[in-house]
Amino acid sequence: MADEASASPAGVRASPFGVQFQEAIDFLKGKIPEASARWDSLAGVAHAKVFTVAGAATADLARDFQQALVTALEQGQTLTSFRKDFDAIVAKHGWSYNGKRGWRSEVIFNANMRSAHMAGRWEQLVANADRRPYLQYRTAGDGRVRPQHRAWDRLIYQIGDAFWATHYPPNGWNCRCTVRAYGSGEMAAKGLQVSRPIPVQYREVLDADGVSVDRVPVGIDPGWDHNVGQSWIAPELALGRKLASLPPQMRGAVVDKTISPAFQTALSDGWNRFRTAVAAKSIPAHSAQVLGFLDSRTLGGLAAHAPGLELQSTAFVAFADQAAALAPGAAAPAWPSGWIDDLPAEVRSYRAVLWDRQAAELVVVAGRKLGDALAVARFAPNAGSEVGHGLALKSLGSADTGDLGDAQRFIVLSGKLEGDR
């Protein structure tokens, strides 16, 4: 964990930017606590919505650490102050953790504080992007900066550049890098220019058994190869992009370990908030909500039967225009309202997933039936808007088993149409 090979001194305050802004507090407060044997049990982007501490055997233990960190952020506490809470939580739960007290408490404190600040900072940068659309990568500028991070120092790109999707700080354990925003006038006055694109090299991440489980840019620690601000604002879309960028053989394993119970709860809660907001017309028309992700079985089926399909995202997505027909109070939906309320669960617990060669769409066959007919949800690959792309919901309806059994048109990617699933 050495970048910036040792962490900040114990007296460094929780507000490295000199302010304690509400966006950072909201980021940390908004996470769902979950038990976890290892920090990397989840894909990196999932940490924007799920709070974990490696080795935390219960959600209650994770929740107590989360609250202590929220308090530290709200009150601008130092690491020294946080260690008092750390000791109290350890004693309360009888927690046996790896490593020494000083190192363990420091890792928990720094990783969460820096991520929270940079997530909140991103929201501010996006809100101010019309006036200051250029971001410059900045290191701490001392001898503890990693060589690769030093190579990125002073690079300038527009806020929408793909560089910031993977290289927006922090980029690893104890990374102290940040960004500075510039307007066009400031750029001209200082003689600054947008940097040339840099080639990004990737390395594979192996687990203890030598199995390849992830791929990250060189210079970025596993689990940190995402923009923590984008992941906070739309973590599910960020995960869909991440999965699509991985080699096919890795995608299934990453999504299968990421869609934890807490993450499933976040998807379901988010879906129902989204439908309510759509009905109230309180969100932009291009907004989107992720319903779930292609699992390893379906990804394997696509690789075998639709090898030419290059997915931009593996996320099932409902965009606001389609969701309007499914909003509470909408007229005569094809599925019962209770099923629509649980749409993420229906997608996840499917009977079968088919590829419709004629329409170039995925057909998710729900586990439950509509009378004698099969309940189906259709999704179009690589559809999108300003917020991102995904497998966009096209319709909810029904179909006869015989029609879906037409082998000339439909290919069963995973599951089966009849019998035990």
Task: Calculate mean pLDDT across residues 406-417.
Answer: 93
Look at 129 and 244; give whichever has higher pLDDT: 129
Select the highest-mean-pLDDT range: 25-29, 84-88, 314-318, 402-406: 84-88
Strands 50-51, 288-293: parallel, antiparallel or unpaired by DSSP?
unpaired
Q: Which residue has the tokens 């394993």?
A: 253
Cis peptide before 333 (omega within 30 of 0): no
Task: Calculate mean pLDDT across residues 136-142.
Answer: 96
Where does 292-400 have alpha helices with state H?
296-305, 320-323, 337-341, 343-348
pTM over 0.75: no
Name residue 369's beta-bridge partners. Answer: 374
Task: Calculate mean pLDDT across residues 128-149.
Answer: 95
Q: What is the DSSP string of 107-161?
A: HHHHHHHHHHHHHHHHHHHHHTTTT--EEEEE---STTS-HHHHHHTT-EEETTS
Proportion of the chain in helix, strand, coil states, percent, rounded to 5: 40, 20, 40
CA-wise closest residue to 36 among 85, 84, 91, 108 = 108
Is residue 44's pLDDT more than 70?
no
As given in the structure block, the two tokens for residue 359 are 């329409």
Question: 291-305: per-residue pLDDT in tens?
Answer: 988 888 888 888 888
Query: What residues have CB less than 8 Å from 363, skipping those under 6 apart?
Result: 353, 354, 355, 356, 376, 377, 378, 379, 399, 404, 410
Instruction: Locate the domains of the chain by residue range.
Output: 22-229, 244-415
Confidence of residue 362 (pLDDT cuts 50, 70, 90): very high
